[in-house]
Structure formats: C-alpha cells, structure tokens
A = this chain, B = another copy of it.
Amino acid sequence: MYLFFLIKQDNEKELLNQTIIYLILCKKIMANRQTIRTERNIFNALFRIMQLKNFNTIKVVEIVEEADVARLTFYRHFSSKEDIILKKIKEIIKCINDELNTRNNINLKESLHIVINVFEKYISFFTLLIKNNLEGLVVQSFKKDIYSIIKKVFLINNTNKYLEKFYEGAFVYVIIEWLSNDDESGKVFFEKAYRLFSSIDVNYS
C-alpha cells in the first residue's frame, strides 16, 4: 500500500501538526488492515479445522495453532469460537446491504438476485455450519441485521411486527434450506425463490 499525503505548509507549527495527523492516520490504516488480515486468517483456520472435525469438539487452542497466532491475539479479536462465525455472518450481511444500498427503486427480482449472488460465494461455509448443527447460530446472527435486507427485498413499509416477522422467517428459512445443500446453484435457486416469493399475496393491513 502506498499512501500519498501532500504536506504544504509554510507555518512550521502547522507543518508539525499535519505531520502528526498524517502519522496517526497511517497507523490507523495499518492497524485496520492488520485487523482484517488477522481475523480472516483466524476464520480460515477455523474453516479448515471444521472440514476435519465437529465444531463442538474444536478447542480455541487448536484454532490458534492452525492460524499460527498467539492466544492473546485471538482473544483481542474474538470472544469465542462462536464469535468468529457470528462476525463472518455479520460481514456477509453488511456486504449484501452495501450492494442493495447502491441501487434506487430496486424491485424483488433485482434485490433477490443480489442477495443470492452474495450468499452463493459463501455456500460452502454455510453448508458446513448447518452440517455441524449450527443452524441456530446462523439464525441468531441473522436476527439483528437481516431485517434491513428483507425490507428492501419485499418492499415492506413499517407496518406490523407480526407481518415483518412473517416475511423475515419465511425468507430466512427458504435461504437456509438452500444453503443447507450445496448441490443447487444460485441460478437455479434464484428462479425457484423468485417464483415462490412473487406468488405470495398478503391482504393484511
């Protein structure tokens, strides 16, 4: 990474101030890049171990060894092995939200396409989670953040908490069903999901 920072200041004190700001900025960017790298490294290590053994039997010490990081480093980034998964799913949901937010007046077809495309990238991760009976963890981590996606996909205006939960549950369960079996491509699933979701008519107000 190269970071160009133009310092042009006649006043000597100002020059010093700006240099300090520059140094702090550099340090922050480097630390952030390091955080992302370390967290990705730890996630990949857990993912590799999960392909060999059941999640319940995996110990933090094994993840630490596989990732080749210090135990202290692990706990600076994650509170537990579950936390690694929760953070990864949060990252995936954020990624979908960012993509959806770049478009205006998006319809069901387009938004569903975006959602399925992002999930498809991580399908082997989700399949592994569900094989490890971690469906509950997936649902738990979807809970806080997925509603913003549902609102965009189904064009729901804030109406009624039960109607919102109705759509949320239906959507989450259908997506999880697809993610449970990595034998159906995103394209095939998209056709089915679009046909299903566009056939629903709720006359509830």
A→B interface (CB under 8 Å): 133, 135-137, 139-140, 143, 160-163, 165-174, 176-178, 192-193, 195-196, 199-204
A165 & B177 in contact (Cβ 8 Å cutoff): yes
- Chain B residues lying within 8 Å of A163, measured Cβ to Cβ, are 196
What is the minimal beta-carbon distance from A99 to any residue of chain B, in angstroms?
A: 23
Specify how many copies of this chain sit in the oligomer: 2
| Measured CA separation A143–B196 after assembly (Å) | 21
- Chain B residues lying within 8 Å of A160, measured Cβ to Cβ, are 196
What is the minimal beta-carbon distance from A175 to any residue of chain B, in angstroms?
A: 9
The 4 A-B pairs at the shortest CB distance, nearest first, are namely A169-B173, A136-B136, A169-B169, A136-B140
| Measured CA separation A176–B136 after assembly (Å) | 13
- Chain B residues lying within 8 Å of A139, measured Cβ to Cβ, are 135-136, 139
- Chain B residues lying within 8 Å of A178, measured Cβ to Cβ, are 162
Instruction: Please tell me which one of the listed residues B162, B171, B196 contacts residue A177 in the complex, with CB atoms under 8 A apart.
Output: B162
| Measured CA separation A165–B192 after assembly (Å) | 13
| Measured CA separation A82–B135 after assembly (Å) | 15
Of A133, A160, A169, A202, the most chain B CB neighbours within 10 A belong to A169
A192 & B162 in contact (Cβ 8 Å cutoff): yes
With CB as the reference atom, state the residue of chain B lying closest to A139.
B139
Instruction: Please tell me which one of the listed residues B133, B136, B140, B167 contacts residue A170 in the complex, with CB atoms under 8 A apart.
Output: B167
27 contacts between A and B (CB under 8 A): A133-B140, A135-B136, A135-B139, A135-B140, A136-B136, A139-B139, A161-B177, A162-B178, A162-B193, A163-B196, A165-B170, A165-B173, A165-B174, A166-B170, A166-B173, A166-B174, A167-B170, A168-B169, A168-B173, A169-B171, A169-B173, A170-B173, A196-B202, A196-B204, A199-B203, A199-B204, A200-B201
